[in-house]
Amino acid sequence: MSESLDVNVALGPRSYHISVVSNQFAQFADTLETWMNQSPAYRNALADGSKTALIITDRNLATLHTAQIENSLKSKDWKFETAIIEPGEKSKSLEVISGLYDKLVAMKADRQTVLIAVGGGVTGDAAGFVAATYVRGLPFVQVPTSLLAHVDSSVGGKVGVNHPQAKNLIGAFYQPLGVFIDTSTLETLPVRDYRSGLAEVVKYGVILDSRFFHYLEQNVAELNQRDPDVLRNVIARSCELKAEVVEQDEHERSGLRAILNYGHTFAHAFEALCGYGELMHGEAVSIGMIYASYLAEKLDLISHQETERQIQLLETLGLPVLLPKGTRLDADQIIDRMKLDKKTVGGKLRFVLPTSLGRVEVFKEIPESLVREVLDELAPPAASDGDFQI
């Protein structure tokens, strides 16, 4: 059996564990029951034998990883049903949520019924929102299946759905009972999706842990080969680092949690202006981190060598560090879009910028002229026939 790594998210009565394993889906039900026994609110469900669950998954995973979760629950005599939603952001809608409520009503679900989310960030967000709101709270377990969900969306308790006018406008902070991460899910993940998750991993090294950044540099080959031993270490450390931030700023009130958005001010603008789907989120974050690092250089916060280390690591992991050739984005367009960013206050741009590898700070009122310099200097090469253009 492979080594199991355990990460504790210390939030007082809302504390929980993240279990990082490889090829251990058969042990899922045992892990779930251990977590329930550790919780005064839910151990009675095991004692009286009322072990019921609703699995929420997407159509792509219904016969893959979800089947393994179902088999594990059957082995421990759980009663469960499975609800299948469509993959993609359209499932983060109140219409889909209402259908999941109907499923719970039909099951006669109560506050001991466990919701199990098997999938990426969309499934976790939607299932978590259902758990937070149905009968004012159901126990909820995350089984993330993408690297991005492993190291980001499954940790921290953000759940929610989209409004027609904006993403994630309706939501809550609702912590899970636990997070079960099995690296075997990454074996079938498409290469672009896998690399997209690696961008967030690199981000943790830049913002919080220079030794972790060095570890990533030393294990590029293993990461590109999806080596399970290295992946367990990388995922567990990424979760630890995010947990440290969440523990200090669970509800995003102190501003500390903003450091997790390194590269995102540029990235969100690039995603929106290129058209959602043209750049994957992690690809946009990878590019955005380099733009932010160049901006930090102009402010004399870091050296060019520290920017180059980021470029080298991202490129060897197969990630882009510049916008695609032929992308036509005007600096005014990008800056106007940045002003819609949630970190902007009073129309003044704020950026998360590195002051060294392993440390970042939030900087307010960055001169637009410096931002424009970075955008102009890093503008992609001119388009030729057949290149993507805006």
Q: What is the CATH number of the domain that holds 15?
A: 3.40.50.1970
Q: Are residues 175 and 200 in the same domain?
A: no
Does 244 reside within a domain?
Answer: yes
CA 247 to CA 92: how far, in whole Å?
A: 26
Per the annotation, the verdict on 264 as an active-site residue is yes
Looking at residue 365, its pLDDT comes to: 82
* Among 188, 211, 237, residue at a domain's last position: 188
Low-confidence ranges of the chain (pLDDT < 70): 1-2, 276-277, 341-347, 383-390
pTM for this one?
0.93
Two structure tokens written together for 187: 């074996």
Q: Are residues 39 and 165 in the same domain?
A: yes
DSSP 8-state secondary structure symbol assigned to residue 91: G
Looking at residue 276, its pLDDT comes to: 60
Q: Are residues 158 and 231 in the same domain?
A: no
Q: Are residues 151 and 219 in the same domain?
A: no
Does 390 reside within a domain?
Answer: no
Count the residues in the chain: 390
Q: Are residues 170 and 231 in the same domain?
A: no
Per the annotation, the verdict on 257 as an active-site residue is yes
Per the annotation, the verdict on 242 as an active-site residue is yes
* Among 188, 214, 247, residue at a domain's last position: 188
Q: Using an 8 Å Cβ cutoff, are 116 and 143 in contact?
A: yes
Looking at residue 235, its pLDDT comes to: 98
CA 50 to CA 108: how far, in whole Å?
A: 12
CA 51 to CA 260: how far, in whole Å?
A: 37
Q: Are residues 200 and 180 in the same domain?
A: no
What CATH number does the domain containing 237 carry?
1.20.1090.10
CA 188 to CA 67: how far, in whole Å?
A: 15
Identity of residue 71: N
Which entry of 203, 264, 309, 350 is annotated as an active-site residue?
A: 264
Q: Are residues 328 and 253 in the same domain?
A: yes
Does 65 reside within a domain?
Answer: yes
Q: Are residues 232 and 181 in the same domain?
A: no
Q: Are residues 249 and 298 in the same domain?
A: yes
Per the annotation, the verdict on 14 as an active-site residue is no
Which entry of 200, 240, 250, 306 is annotated as an active-site residue?
A: 200
Q: End-to-end distance of the chain based on CA atoms, in angstroms?
A: 50
Which entry of 89, 222, 247, 252 is annotated as an active-site residue?
A: 252
Q: Annotated binding site for Zn(2+): which residue ranges?
A: 200, 264, 281
Looking at residue 274, its pLDDT comes to: 86
Q: Are residues 124 and 233 in the same domain?
A: no
Per the annotation, the verdict on 261 as an active-site residue is yes
Q: Are residues 175 and 207 in the same domain?
A: no
Looking at residue 344, its pLDDT comes to: 61
* Among 138, 157, 188, residue at a domain's last position: 188
Does 382 reside within a domain?
Answer: no
Question: pLDDT tens digits, residue range 202-233?
Answer: 999 999 999 999 999 999 999 999 999 999 99
**Count of domains forming the chain:** 2
Two structure tokens written together for 159: 């759940």
Question: pLDDT tens digits, residue range 159-169?
Answer: 999 888 777 88
Q: Are residues 25 and 61 in the same domain?
A: yes
Per the annotation, the verdict on 200 as an active-site residue is yes
Looking at residue 388, its pLDDT comes to: 45
Residue 235 structural domain: 196-377
